[in-house]
Amino acid sequence: MSIWSHISTLLQSLAVGEALSALFKRLKTPPEKRVGFTIAAIGLSAKMAKADGIVTQKERIAFKAIFTIPPRDEKHVDYIFSLAQKDIAGFDMYAKKIAKMLSKNPTLLENLIEGLLYISIADGVFHPNEEKFIDRVATIFKIPTYKLTILKARYIPHLQNNPFLILGLNSDSKFSEVKKQWQKLVQESHPDNMIAQGLPQEAINLATSRLIAINEAWETINKSIAKNTSFSHFTILF
């Protein structure tokens, strides 16, 4: 059974007029990683869309860049999106259900935050309400503030000028430490390694944009060191 067939079966179990939040309540055992990740991402994306009051075409394209959706199954995505937006339950309830559902997969929770960041900046603007939304979801997911700051630095334009932050390091880190951290992050985000961990394809798709940011940060630091450039202008955040 394909992921979308599985999701279709779950949706059909909802009674007429029943909210999407009821689906989370009905799941007595966590669904397979990809199904849980997909439902969570669509539901939270729909809730986030209400944060700035509009869903742009670029945001829809960004969503489809993460999820491989066969044309015949796009109706399921639209249906989940619509259910989540109409649901009177607040996004915090969704986030809590998702946190519980994926409690044994903290990496997937971080991937979900990355997905929300990726979608939120697709229109070129990181709306304050979107940031508040993501900050609150990250808190519910129990993602440490420093980790969230690192994730933001890889996607939010005004933070991307700090290559050390993108790598999760302080600007006073030794070159050997920087190189070691860069190699570690590249290895963690390698598709083969992620597949070995059983992570869903959507998480692997997100790793592509993450790797671009990580490699660009490394190149910036490497070139600056070659030119003997000072890093004193970068803020130490950890």
Tell me the percentage of the chain whose pLDDT exceeds 70.
87
Average pLDDT of the chain, as a whole number = 81
More confident residue, 62 or 30: 62
- State residue 205's pLDDT score: 82
Q: Would you say residue 48 has pLDDT above 50? A: yes
Put simply, whether the predicted model's pTM sits higher than 0.95 gets the answer: no
Domains, the chain, in order of start with CATH, read 1-143 (no CATH), 153-238 (1.10.287)
More confident residue, 132 or 11: 132
DSSP letters of 125-150? ---HHHHHHHHHHHHHTT--HHHHHH
- State residue 167's pLDDT score: 94
More confident residue, 236 or 223: 223
Alpha-carbon distance values, 115 to 10, 106, 146, 186, 236 (Å)? 23, 14, 18, 18, 26
Q: Would you say residue 168 has pLDDT above 80? A: yes
pLDDT band at residue 233, thresholds of 50, 70 and 90?
very low
Q: Beta-carbon neighbour count of residue 124 at 10 Å? A: 8
More confident residue, 172 or 227: 172
Q: Any idea which of 33-37, 170-174, 193-197 has the lowest mean pLDDT? A: 33-37
- State residue 229's pLDDT score: 55
Burial class, 84, CB count within 10 angstroms (exposed 0-12 / middle 13-18 / buried 19+): buried
- State residue 89's pLDDT score: 67
Kindly calculate the radius of gyration of the chain based on its CA atoms and give it in whole angstroms.
Answer: 19
Alpha-carbon distance values, 93 to 16, 100, 138, 184 (Å)? 21, 11, 13, 35
Q: Would you say residue 8 has pLDDT above 70? A: yes
- The whole-number average pLDDT for the span 139-163 is 90
In which residue are the tokens 């519980």 written?
100
